[in-house]
Structure formats: C-alpha cells, structure tokens
Amino acid sequence: MTTPLIGVSVPRSPEHSAFGIKDSVLQVMEYSEAVIAAGGRPVLLPSTETIPEDLLLGIDGLLLSGGGDLSPALFGEEPVEASYGISEIRDAFEIALISDATERAIPILAICRGLQLINVLRGGTLEMHVEGHWQTVPADQPMHSVEVAAGSALAEIVGAEPLEINSYHHQAIAQLGEGLNPVAFAGDLIEAYEDPDADLLAVQWHPEHMFRTSERNHSLFADLVRRAVHRKERN
C-alpha cells in the first residue's frame, strides 16, 4: 500500500490543551502513533500565526486534533467561567486548514475540538458547558458508550452496535451545522457526524488514546488512511 501523508494539527502551546504541558506533548505523540499504526505517515502542522500558501500541498489526509475551546465569538457567544485554552491564532490556522482541505478534496478525520470547529463553520452552535463528560479514569479506558446510526459510514467503519468511548469535553453540539449528518449519540448529545460528500468524519471523543486497546477505535484511523490512499492514487 502507498504510504499517505497525514497532516496532524497540533495546539499552539501546551496551555491551549486540556491535558497540561506534559500530557499535551504525549497527546500529540498519540495522534502520530495512531496514524503510524494505521499505515500512514504523520506530518505535524503547528498553529503558526503566519499561514503559508499551499498549506496542505502534498498532504493526502487531514487529522484535526483536540485541544482548548474555540473562540465563542465564532458562534455569537461570550466566554463562560469554564472556558479554557482559547486561541484565536489556532482557530484561524485550522480554519485555513479546513478551507485548503476542502478545496483539494482531502479526506478529514476531526476529533473533539475539530468536530466543534467544523460544526461552527457550517453554521452550527455549541453548548458552552455540559456536565458529566470529563472522565477521571485513564484515557485508554471507556467512560460510556454511544449509539451508532445504522446505515451510516461510521457504522461501516466501527460496526452498528454501541461503541465504548472515552470522554474529555465540556462543550457539545447544540445546533448541527448545514450538510452534517449525526451518526453517534450519547443520550441527547451528538457524538459524531459525517458528510460523505466532503469525505468528512468527525467524533467528539479521543480515539487516539484508545487505538491500542480498542480495534473499533483504531479503525477510525485506518479508515482515514484508506481514504487518503484512495485520494493519492486517484491523483
């Protein structure tokens, strides 16, 4: 199989991560390890203030990582007491990533913050704070399960039975953005969506911490690599 290059967005600084300085570095490594285990080659994309032209030239797939909160101004809100890690520079950089990926028809896997950002860019909104979705057990262990929509692309990837996931988010989708199909649920919360027309899958949880212990979570990265290979060979 041709080894695709997978661009991985990373926080601007550890302070903009939910996991602190040490764990933030380890989290970036986990994204990279998950991509390698799936057969891809990670290319780290740090959130620079200066955004270069041809940002994703040569990149075959894009992984949007987790991190701090989006600027609430993106969806008409103000920060709340629980808000943390807001970086308008990272917001601008990742908006440019998404725009370039869309223009180049690069497949995307969006994780946690990435899911929230694309939702907002599609006209959706976020709940500013939700309780009970931040686990205290190790990140490679599940906190709860999600119901997977039958017939969805996600169901083809991970199976249609309930999927055990971890949970590290204090915000959640309120209104879903245009063109996005909800495909995983925890109660009333949307935990994943997809847009097959845009070669896009987004999940609210952190599969990079579970790819070693959960084959179904590993399959999310394998699917991104598969889609990236298909694009690479097509071009």
- Told to judge if 215 belongs to the known catalytic residues of this protein, a careful annotator would answer no
CB 190 within 8 A of CB 157: no
**Residue 81 CB coordination number (10 Å):** 7
Closest alpha carbon to 72 in 86, 85, 82 = 86
- Told to judge if 209 belongs to the known catalytic residues of this protein, a careful annotator would answer no
What is the residue-wise DSSP string for 49-108? Answer: SS--SSTTTT--EEEE---SPPPGGGGT----TT-----HHHHHHHHHHHHHHHHTT--E
| Active-site pick, 16, 133, 170, 206 | 206
Q: Residue 68: which residues within 8 A CB-CB, separation 6 or more? A: 11, 15, 16, 17, 18, 84, 85, 86, 87, 90, 113
- Told to judge if 156 belongs to the known catalytic residues of this protein, a careful annotator would answer no
| Active-site pick, 30, 112, 133, 170 | 112
| Active-site pick, 30, 191, 194, 208 | 208
Cα–Cα distance for residue pair 154/128, rounded to 1 Å? 26
Catalytic residues: 112, 206, 208
